[in-house]
Chains A and B, each alone.
Chain A
Amino acid sequence: MIEALDLEQTYQSGGRPLTVLRQINLAIAPREFVAVMGPSGSGKTTLLGLLAGLDRPTRGTIRLDGTDLGPLSEDARARLRAEKVGFVFQTFQLMPTLTAIENVLVPIELRGRAARNGHAARERAQRLLERVGLGERLDHYPIQLSGGEQQRVGLARAFAAEPRILLADEPTGSLDAETGREVIDLLVELNRDAGTTLVLVTHDPALAARARRVIRLSAGTIVSDTRAEPA
């Protein structure tokens, strides 16, 4: 489902080149649940961004569901994301000017008029919000929701466009332990039901423990890649 070959990413930082990732090789199978761990600055978020095609790697190849991202333009990669990739962010990243249900609808609407099909999309968004326990708060604005509620809207949005791949960046990083656990339970559940390939970046060993496979990064390289036995 996801393939990375000899990935390297270098940025100019204060006039000097700074290599954030080097010699990354990995392959993630469909429906796999992978946790990416590592200390701050180890390149976790950059790796996630590259896998989603948010930027071009300095070197190397990425394949997403069989498509080589290399030759694709910025907009073509965006289209690919709209069709195949869902996102969950540490800081929720909801549009402050949109209500909960409108936020969930964004990925569907970005696909254009044809995909929008007003009623069906709205019903789907509503079902998803009900599923994450926010059936009563469809028309609330983000500022009117608590952190945990905002992240649940984020989850509903991630699954709204029925992505094949879900990328989550520290989804519990801004939440207290209890709320974080609830969010993760929901995420795992939704993932299992939808059969999505899930890549999750985290600091939290308890969270990582729920993944089938854990990749550890340090200073921009993979230092370990372990699979848990099926429970």
Chain B
Amino acid sequence: MRPPFALVMAWRESRGSRRRLALYLSSVSLGVAALVAINSFRANVTASVHAQARTLLGADLELRSRSPFPDSVETVLDSLHRSGAPLARVTSFASMALASRTGRTRLVDVRAVTGGFPFYGAIATTPSGQWAGFRGRRAVLVDPAVLVYLDVAQGDTLQIGDARFVIAGVVTDAPGDVALWSAIGPRVYLPAEYLDETHLLRFGSLAQYRVYFQLPEDAVQRFLNRHNKLLQRYQVASETVAEQEEDLTRDLGRLARYLGLVGLIALLLGGLGVGSAVNVFVLDKLDSAALLRCLGARQRTVLTVYLLQAIALGLVGAGAGVVLGVIVQAALPAVLGGFLPLDVSVRLQWSTILAGLGIGAGTAALFALLPLLQLREVSPLRVLRRELDLGPGARAARPWRLAVYGAMLAGLVGLARWQAPRPIVGYAFAVAVLVSTAALWLTAKGLIWATRRWFPRRASYVVRQGIANLFRPQNQTVAVVLAIGFGVFLITTLYVVQRSLIDQIALDARPDRPNLVFFDIQVDEKDSITRMLGARGVRPIDLTPIVPARMARVNGRPVDSLAADSSRRRSPWALHREYRNTYRDTLVSSERLTAGSWWRAARRPGELPRISVEQDLAAEAGLRVGDRVTWNVQGVPVETRVASLRQVSWARFQPNFFVVFEPGVLERAPQTFVVMARSEAPVARAELQRDVTLAYPNVASLDLTLVQHTLDGVVSKVTLAIRFMALFSIASGLVILIGALTASRLQRVREAVLLKTLGASGGQVRRIFLTEYCAWGSLAALTGVLLAGAAGWAVMTRLFELPFRLPALPLLAVWFAVCALVVAVGLAHSRAVVRGTPLALWRALSE
């Protein structure tokens, strides 16, 4: 059978331009690479989680509670244990660790371990084998970070509460642990038999009690079914291997999907690059298309001839992207390392690869279709009167264009929906892309218009010619500026937000703000600690009581029955959680009243005690001003009335509360205190922390500068992943830049030859191009930075409700870097143009 004419013709017609066209269509490569990498990674994470699920939990069943298990639960656990199921316990809480030799202190995450935990997998230590051996003596195993913070080594002594332990070694790998956490609360494992010696777990300490069982799968389900009611009543949460696998797969999958959306932007930018480059290609092919039509080809055939070329080369571009994506995938565990509780094994995922090929070729074809439609409309008469009609081809018929726009929109929404963790996120993403593309396009257009409007007429010829080049016929200035601008926009927005957040903490460290926090202070320690601070000239800035309580009833109805109530939406979390409430007579600077009124006047006799609830929590719990809330304060019921709702700026570093009581209600309830203080010298702060820890081992303290440092590290890790994906956008922008340079190569050669013939030196020609690339880079950088500033402002003031400050110097650096990049790529690309002799170039042109 003979292949159809269009196919044969497409192959032959592409002879002269295959390489050039392949370059244009490789704009999609980077986007495909980003998607293939992140989606393969997601599949690999799922597979790895499945393979390691038992190891990740370390057991078949985990039960956990915020308070010690009550006797009724203990009885059930005991009987299960006696029936032959191995049991282990891990009790964890935050506490100060004090290094005896160096005198340094650090808030750590203490984990007291009993039994054979983990039942599956192993905790790796240095020196090896310490996990089995460190128990039974007064020894601890610590995160490597602890050694660094406290400046100690194996064999040194660590004081935790009232007990002292020898550091037996470091834990290098604990399955199920996320590296990011160790920056916040580095772990210290100690044998549970010595837990009591620390005298730490007192009233008000935030501890987590966990019990682990090794059980056959059906026994796990039987146990849970049988004791479900009991566990619920005492708010004991359970986690099985299957649940753990499901949770991890979902959470990590969601993370990967969000990152995939960033990759999708690179793909869309690539599509834009294809469209813009094919537009130039089409202008070259108008004559061939006219000739084909002249010789009797139908419109459809002509379009098919060129569309087939686009699809075939789009496949080539996508193929290159797939290969790159598979390579990049290997780098992802390093980038995402901070979030991963497990080792992800890298394997080829065929479904992802096929999807990548399809998506890449599809994107290339769709974006190529719009300019290719011009070929469909080309008049056969063009062959005869070519010199009279050198303008672009007729615009495609409206229905055709609308159909292509429709297909592009459907493609965008479909892709976003497919990649997004939830459909609504996908749609929101599609809208966000459309809006930001429109904004970038308008900004780019505006800047280009402004450049033309305020053209530097007085500048030297070289500069004027370079800038005038932005407007040469068939220029792709808008496409280049848009694509690179998008990448700059993404990366700069991240940077601006990150910077502002960290600045905010630095701002909180101003002279009038506290920089030292002491918490878990018991009632009987409050006065002596205040005196101790005073004796050292440290003024406590703030003393805040904390009263743990749970909601018992709302408007007289028990919270258990409210959760099922359909008249108002109430989240079980808000109804059942343990609240840490406070009482005071004034609003603080991070708060603003949004409804009701504050308690200025004293309570009238017979009136219920008044509380103020944070507005988002009030919405979650379905509370309104005037509602009656009965609290269970350590077994004592306290009935209150919601008097006001508050908006709270949580990002401020100060104790903030969901619920504030009016004074005169909770003073006698069991409570702990938080003291905020300020001490200028770092050494004095360290000494103060050490001495408080020595005198009151249960009191934990935090140096704010350390928190700032830690947060900096955490935010950097979070943004690193996004930034990594955003790099694909910048790279796509550069590919588009190269495409645009290639497309205009002929024009550039012509200009260079002409200028040299007229007497321009190589240096002059080079400076003209330099100006042009600099202008490109500046416009792109400015476009991206302008929008990033706007987006950063919106995120900071609307989402975080914090003041926003534009970091001018770094943005200048962004501008410089982008210009340098564009100029470097541009000059590298035009080397031959500038270098050759005019006559040689002239001959090259006519060949």
Residues of chain A touching chain B, judged by Cβ–Cβ distance below 8 Å, are: 11, 46, 49-50, 52, 54-56, 74-75, 78-83, 85, 87, 93, 95-98, 102, 105-107, 109-111, 113, 116, 143, 147, 157, 161
User: Would you give the shortest CB distance from A103 to chain B, in whole angstroms?
Assistant: 10
Residues of A within 8 A of B387 (CB): 147
Residue contact B843 to A110, C-beta cutoff 8 Å: no
Asked if B755 is at the interface of the complex by the 8 Å CB criterion, the answer is yes
Residue contact A78 to B754, C-beta cutoff 8 Å: no
Q: Given A96-B472, A97-B468, A98-B468, verify A106-B755 contact (CB < 8 Å).
A: yes
Residue contact A55 to B764, C-beta cutoff 8 Å: no
User: Would you give the shortest CB distance from B684 to chain A, in whole angstroms?
Assistant: 64
Q: A163: nearest residue on chain B (CB-CB)?
A: B759
Residues of B within 8 A of A95 (CB): 465, 468, 751, 754
Asked if B839 is at the interface of the complex by the 8 Å CB criterion, the answer is yes
Q: List 26 A-B contacts (CB under 8 A).
A: A46-B839, A49-B839, A54-B842, A55-B837, A74-B837, A75-B761, A75-B763, A78-B759, A78-B760, A78-B762, A80-B759, A81-B759, A87-B757, A95-B465, A95-B751, A95-B754, A96-B473, A96-B747, A97-B471, A106-B755, A107-B758, A110-B461, A110-B759, A110-B760, A113-B460, A147-B387
Residues of B within 8 A of A80 (CB): 759
Main secondary structure of the interface of B (DSSP, over half): helix
Q: Given A93-B750, A97-B468, A116-B461, verify A106-B758 contact (CB < 8 Å).
A: yes
How many residue-residue contacts, CB under 8 A, span A and B? Answer: 79
Residue contact B758 to A81, C-beta cutoff 8 Å: yes
Asked if B652 is at the interface of the complex by the 8 Å CB criterion, the answer is no
User: Would you give the shortest CB distance from B760 to chain A, in whole angstroms?
Assistant: 5
Q: A97: nearest residue on chain B (CB-CB)?
A: B468
A79, A85, A102, A143: the one contacting B761 at CB < 8 Å is A79
Residues of A within 8 A of B762 (CB): 74-75, 78
Expressed in whole angstroms, the Cα–Cα distance for A110 and B763 within the complex equals: 11
Asked if B469 is at the interface of the complex by the 8 Å CB criterion, the answer is yes
Q: B754: nearest residue on chain A (CB-CB)?
A: A93
Residues of A within 8 A of B763 (CB): 75
User: Would you give the shortest CB distance from B754 to chain A, in whole angstroms?
Assistant: 5
Expressed in whole angstroms, the Cα–Cα distance for A98 and B768 within the complex equals: 14
Residue contact A97 to B472, C-beta cutoff 8 Å: yes
A54, A79, A105: the one contacting B757 at CB < 8 Å is A54
User: Would you give the shortest CB distance from A204 to chain B, in whole angstroms?
Assistant: 18
Residue contact A82 to B461, C-beta cutoff 8 Å: no
Residue contact A143 to B757, C-beta cutoff 8 Å: no
B469, B751, B764: the one contacting A110 at CB < 8 Å is B764
Expressed in whole angstroms, the Cα–Cα distance for A131 and B841 within the complex equals: 33
Expressed in whole angstroms, the Cα–Cα distance for A161 and B759 within the complex equals: 11
User: Would you give the shortest CB distance from A94 to chain B, in whole angstroms?
Assistant: 9
Expressed in whole angstroms, the Cα–Cα distance for A80 and B750 within the complex equals: 21
Expressed in whole angstroms, the Cα–Cα distance for A189 and B325 within the complex equals: 67
Residues of A within 8 A of B1 (CB): none
Expressed in whole angstroms, the Cα–Cα distance for A96 and B758 within the complex equals: 16
User: Would you give the shortest CB distance from B320 to chain A, in whole angstroms?
Assistant: 31
Expressed in whole angstroms, the Cα–Cα distance for A98 and B457 within the complex equals: 12
Expressed in whole angstroms, the Cα–Cα distance for A75 and B764 within the complex equals: 10
- For chain B, which range describes its interface: under 10, 10 to 19, 20 to 34, or 35 or more residues? 20 to 34
| Contacts A49-B842, A81-B758 known; 13 new A-B pairs at CB < 8 A | A54-B756, A75-B763, A78-B761, A78-B762, A81-B759, A85-B759, A95-B465, A95-B754, A96-B472, A97-B471, A110-B758, A110-B759, A147-B387
Expressed in whole angstroms, the Cα–Cα distance for A107 and B764 within the complex equals: 12
Q: Mark B736-780, 1 if CB is under 8 A from A, else 0.
A: 000000000001001100111111111110000000000000000
Q: Given A54-B757, A93-B750, verify A11-B843 contact (CB < 8 Å).
A: yes
User: Would you give the shortest CB distance from A95 to chain B, in whole angstroms?
Assistant: 7
Asked if B840 is at the interface of the complex by the 8 Å CB criterion, the answer is yes
Residues of A within 8 A of B760 (CB): 78, 82, 110
Residues of chain B touching chain A, judged by Cβ–Cβ distance below 8 Å, are: 387, 460-461, 465, 468-469, 471-473, 747, 750-751, 754-764, 837-840, 842-843
User: Would you give the shortest CB distance from A11 to chain B, in whole angstroms?
Assistant: 7
Expressed in whole angstroms, the Cα–Cα distance for A55 and B844 within the complex equals: 13
Residues of A within 8 A of B460 (CB): 113
Expressed in whole angstroms, the Cα–Cα distance for A102 and B469 within the complex equals: 13
A46, A78, A143, A147: the one contacting B756 at CB < 8 Å is A78
Top 4 A-B pairs, shortest CB-CB distance:
A82-B759, A55-B839, A109-B461, A97-B468
Expressed in whole angstroms, the Cα–Cα distance for A82 and B471 within the complex equals: 26
Q: B473: nearest residue on chain A (CB-CB)?
A: A96
Residue contact B840 to A52, C-beta cutoff 8 Å: no
Expressed in whole angstroms, the Cα–Cα distance for A52 and B837 within the complex equals: 12
Residue contact A107 to B469, C-beta cutoff 8 Å: no
Expressed in whole angstroms, the Cα–Cα distance for A82 and B758 within the complex equals: 6
Q: B751: nearest residue on chain A (CB-CB)?
A: A95
A11, A81, A106, A161: the one contacting B461 at CB < 8 Å is A106
Residues of A within 8 A of B842 (CB): 49, 54
Expressed in whole angstroms, the Cα–Cα distance for A161 and B471 within the complex equals: 26
Residues of A within 8 A of B472 (CB): 96-97
Expressed in whole angstroms, the Cα–Cα distance for A206 and B79 within the complex equals: 118
Expressed in whole angstroms, the Cα–Cα distance for A204 and B840 within the complex equals: 26
Indicate the member of B461, B473, B842 with the most A CB atoms within 10 Å.
B461
User: Would you give the shortest CB distance from A139 to chain B, in whole angstroms?
Assistant: 12
Indicate the member of A79, A80, A81 with the most B CB atoms within 10 Å.
A81
User: Would you give the shortest CB distance from A166 to chain B, in whole angstroms?
Assistant: 12
Q: B763: nearest residue on chain A (CB-CB)?
A: A75
Expressed in whole angstroms, the Cα–Cα distance for A98 and B473 within the complex equals: 11
A56, A75, A87, A147: the one contacting B758 at CB < 8 Å is A87
A54, A81, A85: the one contacting B837 at CB < 8 Å is A54
Residues of B within 8 A of A79 (CB): 759, 761
Residues of B within 8 A of A102 (CB): 468
Residues of A within 8 A of B837 (CB): 54-56, 74
Residues of A within 8 A of B761 (CB): 74-75, 78-79
Q: A109: nearest residue on chain B (CB-CB)?
A: B461
Expressed in whole angstroms, the Cα–Cα distance for A157 and B754 within the complex equals: 12
Residue contact B755 to A55, C-beta cutoff 8 Å: no
A82, A98, A143: the one contacting B465 at CB < 8 Å is A98
